[in-house]
A = this chain, B = another copy of it.
Amino acid sequence: MPPDVLTPERILEATEDVLRRFGPAKATVVDVARALGVSHGSVYRHFPSKVALREAVTGRWLERAHGELAGIASAAGPAPERLAAWLGALFAAKRRKALGDPELFATYRSLFGEHSAVVRSHLADLCGQLRVIIEDGAARGEFAADGPAADPATAAQAVFDATVRFHDPVHAAHWSAAGIEEAHDAVVALVLRGLSAR
B residues in contact with A164, CB < 8 Å: 164-165, 171
For the complex of A and B, list the 7 residue pairs with the smallest distance between their C-beta atoms, beginning with the closest: A194-B194, A158-B186, A190-B194, A162-B162, A193-B194, A170-B170, A198-B198
B residues in contact with A183, CB < 8 Å: 157-158, 161
Residue of B nearest to A115 (CB): B173
Q: Select one of B157, B162, B163, B186 contacting A148, CB under 8 A.
A: B186
Counting contact residues on chain A (CB < 8 A from B), the size range is 20 to 34
Compute how far the CA of A170 lies from the CA of B168 in the bound complex, rounded to whole angstroms. 10
B residues in contact with A155, CB < 8 Å: 186, 190
**Given contacts A148-B189, A162-B187, A190-B195, could you give 10 more A-B pairs where the C-beta distance is less than 8 Å?**
A148-B193, A155-B190, A158-B187, A161-B187, A189-B194, A190-B194, A191-B194, A192-B194, A193-B194, A193-B195
Q: Tell yes or no: A154 within 8 A of B by CB.
A: yes
Residue of B nearest to A151 (CB): B186
Selected A-B contacts with CB under 8 Å, 23 pairs: A147-B193, A148-B186, A148-B189, A148-B190, A154-B186, A155-B186, A157-B183, A157-B186, A158-B183, A158-B186, A158-B190, A161-B183, A161-B186, A161-B187, A162-B187, A162-B190, A162-B191, A164-B165, A164-B171, A165-B168, A170-B170, A192-B194, A194-B194
